[in-house]
Structure 1
Amino acid sequence: MQHTKKPPYSLLFIFGGSGDLNYRKLIPALFNLYVDQRMPDRFAIYGIGRSEYTNDRYRDHLLKGIKEFSRRKDKGDGAWETFAKNVSYLQFDASDASCYTQITDCITAKEKEFGVTPIVIFYLAVAPQLVPVIAKNLQQLPSCFQRESTRIVVEKPFGHDLQSAHELNLLLSNIFEEEQIYRIDHYLGKETVQNILAFRFANALFEPIWNRNYIDHIQITASETVGVDGRGDYYEGSGALRDMVQNHILQLLCMIAMEPPLSFDANEIRNKKTDVLNAIRKITRESVHGFAVRGQYAGGWMMGKQVKSYRQEDKVAPQSGVETFAAVKFYIDNWRWQDVPFYVRTGKRMNSKATAISVVFRPAPVFSFPQEAAETWRSNRIIFSITPEADIRLRFQAKRPGTAMTLNPVNMMFKYKDEYEVAEPEAYETLLLDVMEGDATLFMRSDQVEASWKVIMPIIEAWQSRPPIDFPNYSPGSWGPEDSEALIARDGHNWITLPLAGKDESNQ
């Protein structure tokens, strides 16, 4: 989103301030905003954690993260000196309610220094089990009763299932108003994801054909080449379905499928997304096998290196039945999308690291052309590439040069890096700026979260009741288990993979 003014004076209290998310993402994002003159004129950042740091040692630690992860690392020394003056560390145990008076003392001191009441943001970059504990302890702080100036940011996963998500929503709603709660999904901060709205609703070319009359099916792929990367204990309690489909992928699906909003008001956008989630056809536990596929990566060779199987990873059970791959076919039962399949898949240790949405249109009639002209005919399609490169590709038919009427699929491509000289902001930059400005458009509301859990709960319950007997069932460096190919092949389609690998995809 384009911001033309600076946010109001702000205080950010980051629980998990000594953790990896703050080191790799949050502080680099805030520093980038500072270099780009997007931070408030007066602000303060407090990292909160149990590790022992003085303010100076904490700043030195964060500077290492800036030099490794910031897109403005070239400004790391000069700009950092002035930025770091606004960064402090509070060492305390978040489960100890008596320690929270330190937060009140900081707020009181800054109110006196600034001469105004600043925006107070509590960012919970912590393990999910700590969220209720911290929220209850924050309840005692006077600032939490200031509805207009206090906000809480909760990272995913938001709950472990529908019941736990509902309980967490109830807990937070007893302490904060809904407009104070920012449930963050960093995928929604990515430029290409936001550009889907502009592409669909700002162009008369596309919206009239964005429906079941013209679109054959839609595919969403979010693949990773890494394994669990030292997070075996987290992944054992999560799996691909909870980790990716319930939040990231369903949010992407909503962006593609939502109805035109009446305005870009936060609640209007979120209403339209929730309508999509509520319209997704519920999969019964008995029919899950026809709509969902799971997999787990084996050991082997990948990119010239030998890699472990999931079951050999640290803190993973030797006979774990947790899925590292999931593919699901969804239907949206409304006028726009009736009987249009939405195929989604995600996995670790796959062929390429990429996230893309492919919109495949129904084929045009070929009878106007000679038979030989149609031999290379391919359906029109639009691909939104979110990672590793942000671009939008449109495929259409064109005549090959020569005397014969020979048709070939060709591509038109819009690339952000070629079109704009301005560096693309990181997702967390956009979202943190929105929190400071009080714009909740890109954040999930309580009913959205619960609606997304309702969509996948039958799959979770079916998989829990029927342990897998074929794990591990896909090789590292592949595109997942064979059953995922069968899932889409039954409908006469195939997964679109070549553009995700950065190659020419005109032959698919």
Structure 2
Amino acid sequence: MINRLAVLGGTGDLTARYLLPALAALHASGHLGDRLEWTGAGREDWDTERYRQWIAEQFERHDDFSPADAKEAITAAARYVRADVTHPADVAAAIAGDGPVAVYLALPPALFPPVVTALHEASLPPGSRIVLEKPFGEDLAGAQDLNRLLADLVPEQAVFRVDHFLAMTTVQNVLGSRLANRVLEPIWNSTHIAEIEIVWDETLALEGRAGYYDHVGALKDMLQNHLLQLLCLVAMEPPVTLGERDLRDRKVDVLRSARMLTENDVVHRTRRARYSAGRIRGHDLPAYVDEDGVSPERRTETYAEVELELDSWRWAGTTFRLRSGKALGADRKEVAVRFRAVPHLPFGHSGEALPNVLRFNLEPEGLALDLTGIGAHTDELVPLALTARMEPPGLPAYGRLLLDVLRGDPALSIRGDEAEEAWRLLEPVLSAWEKDLVPLEEYPAGSDGPPARVWHADALRRREDLLHDPVIPPDHP
């Protein structure tokens, strides 16, 4: 286990909100002991004493859970280096010390290539590991170039392309629920499942992140990495083990099976929008284009929706819909598995069986199953719901990821070929949107999103529920 950590971007929001609480949680749970040495590198003209003051301030703001002694230990273990992280000499000072080091790039993605180049020249100690936040690159060509740079720096198993979604308890229980329960896996296929929605809708708006978000947008920020990762876990074939090779091989299989979208597909199967002025939870919110730091001419979307199909034996005919939006009226963060209708109802005409829906709630974490039951009269159908809450995780998601990095277990990180496949899948969407083939719609902040429309797959599903026939992939007009 590595006991040295260097955080490039050590004064940024990611460090303050997530990495510091994660380190404190690891210390409190006994995973770090007193051996951890860690360095924060930033552009501020600080010394270590001032940096430790800043750390204490961030713990006050962002960590209400870790015990005081754990926070104090993490604060005392820190040192600070003022650095231009693209300059080899500064990077060498940040990673200086005895033995291998885990280098965490808590930086904007655009800085990854020059920082990795600087690490090449800074003589990274043997056995070291490198951690990169999402999104990995800005397009397919960028991801391929970055993979080549990394391959010259460290072995693939020492590269951790982290996505904290993969360390969330509910996300891991998508696999657990499938593979540990005989009742689910036999029906986990297109014969029984009509549609799977993977949704991350949030009431949060920019929250001061325009400098990053306006260059990325909802498609790159959420769908290209987080939601495609969820798609992989939902749709993958059962792996032989949960070891890094077996698990990551099966994830790549899912992305490779996804049908490439033509321009016509993008027009019919994707949506993009951004929020206009509105009101959320009693507070007025300006339009996205009026937020500080936003350049309206970029036409950045705050809502993205993509419909996919997988060309595989298990999933041919099931629709997968990925959606994420900001500044919406309600938080909805879930994987919703919608089953096909039953073939016959012996209850007359007084009711209709609603589709059974299995929901993996991501925040708050839990499970829910929507069923249809019999009411007071034997021919009356009523909706039923079964819910279960999960125990709070022992470690926060970033704590689990950091522990995997220090231990050298890349199972929950994204492999290089997987990162490239994710970009390959969404490049036709990015290209068509750049050509304005899909209109940039608007929705009021605090609403349900852009005006509802009937998706082609919705009409197809209704037709199939009547015929009870296997799904035939649609031909688009």
- TM-score of the alignment, normalized to the shorter chain, above 0.5: yes
In 1, are the aligned partners of 2:266 and 2:438 still within 8 Å (CA)? no
Change (3 A) 1:468 1:305: farther
Change (3 A) 1:40 1:467: farther
Partner of 1:90: 81
Q: Which whole-Å deviations, capped at 9, do the CAs of 1:247-286 have from their partners, x for residues lacking one?
A: 0111111110000001111011011010000000110123
1:90-489 equivalence runs, <5 A:
90-103=81-94, 106-108=96-98, 117=99, 119-144=100-125, 146=126, 149-372=127-350, 375-387=351-363, 389-400=364-375, 402=376, 404-416=378-390, 420=391, 423-466=393-436, 471=440, 473-482=442-451, 486=455, 489=458
Letter of the 2:79 partner, please give it.
S
In 1, are the aligned partners of 2:92 and 2:119 still within 8 Å (CA)? no
Change (3 A) 1:208 1:324: same
Shift of 1:175: 1.4
Shift of 1:86: 1.3
In 1, are the aligned partners of 2:55 and 2:75 still within 8 Å (CA)? no
Shift of 1:142: 4.2
Following TM superposition, where does structure 1 have runs of at least 4 consecutive aligned residues deviating by more than 4 angstroms?
Answer: 483-489
Q: Quick one: distance in 2 between partners of 1:212 and 1:55?
A: 57
Change (3 A) 1:414 1:124: same
Please, what is the CA RMSD of the aligned residues? Answer: 2.0
Q: Quick one: distance in 2 between partners of 1:236 and 1:487?
A: 30
Change (3 A) 1:36 1:446: same
1:36-115 equivalence runs, <5 A:
36-73=29-66, 75-76=67-68, 78-103=69-94, 106-108=96-98
Partner of 1:112: none
Change (3 A) 1:345 1:423: closer
Q: Quick one: distance in 2 between partners of 1:163 and 1:353?
A: 34
Q: Secondary structure at the match of 1:460?
A: helix
In 2, are the aligned partners of 1:14 and 1:123 still within 8 Å (CA)? yes
Letter of the 1:132 partner, please give it.
P
TM-score if structure 1 supplies the norm length?
0.86
Q: Percent identity?
A: 33
Q: Quick one: distance in 2 between partners of 1:234 and 1:86?
A: 30
Q: Secondary structure at the match of 1:473?
A: strand
Q: Quick one: distance in 2 between partners of 1:33 and 1:63?
A: 17
Q: Secondary structure at the match of 1:272?
A: helix
Moved more, 349-358 or 206-215: 349-358
Q: Secondary structure at the match of 1:306?
A: strand
Shift of 1:18: 1.0
Q: Quick one: distance in 1 between partners of 2:176 and 2:426?
A: 29
In 1, are the aligned partners of 2:110 and 2:137 still within 8 Å (CA)? no
Change (3 A) 1:403 1:349: closer
Change (3 A) 1:403 1:138: closer
Unaligned runs of 5+ in 2: 463-477
In 1, are the aligned partners of 2:328 and 2:448 still within 8 Å (CA)? yes
Change (3 A) 1:284 1:371: same
Shift of 1:159: 0.9
Q: Quick one: distance in 2 between partners of 1:327 and 1:96?
A: 39
Q: Which whole-Å deviations, capped at 9, do the CAs of 1:88-123 have from their partners, x for residues lacking one?
A: 11112212222234245x413xxxxxxxx4x51000
Q: Which whole-Å deviations, capped at 9, do the CAs of 1:332-351 have from their partners, x for residues lacking one?
A: 00000001111111111112
Shift of 1:234: 2.3
Shift of 1:394: 1.6
In 1, are the aligned partners of 2:84 and 2:91 still within 8 Å (CA)? no
In 1, are the aligned partners of 2:88 and 2:118 still within 8 Å (CA)? yes
Moved more, 176-185 or 134-143: 134-143
Letter of the 1:399 partner, please give it.
I
Q: Quick one: distance in 1 between partners of 2:227 and 2:287?
A: 25
Change (3 A) 1:181 1:481: same
Change (3 A) 1:473 1:128: same
Q: Which whole-Å deviations, capped at 9, do the CAs of 1:449-469 have from their partners, x for residues lacking one?
A: 110111111011011012766
In 1, are the aligned partners of 2:89 and 2:122 still within 8 Å (CA)? no
Shift of 1:9: 4.6
Shift of 1:195: 1.0
Shift of 1:139: 1.6
Q: What is the count of residue pairs matched by the alignment?
A: 462
Shift of 1:23: 0.9
Mapped pair 1:15 → 2:8: yes
User: Which of the residues 25, 35, 41 maps onto 2:18?
Assistant: 25
In 2, are the aligned partners of 1:221 and 1:354 still within 8 Å (CA)? yes
Change (3 A) 1:266 1:57: same
Letter of the 1:458 partner, please give it.
P
Shift of 1:425: 2.6
Partner of 1:34: 27
Moved more, 89-98 or 243-252: 89-98
Q: Quick one: distance in 1 between partners of 2:111 and 2:51?
A: 22
Q: Which whole-Å deviations, capped at 9, do the CAs of 1:309-331 have from their partners, x for residues lacking one?
A: 11111222244422111111100
Shift of 1:152: 0.1
Change (3 A) 1:91 1:487: farther
Shift of 1:40: 4.6
In 1, are the aligned partners of 2:23 and 2:74 still within 8 Å (CA)? no
Letter of the 2:152 partner, please give it.
N
In 1, are the aligned partners of 2:347 and 2:378 still within 8 Å (CA)? no
Letter of the 1:126 partner, please give it.
L
Q: Secondary structure at the match of 2:362?
A: strand
Partner of 1:504: none
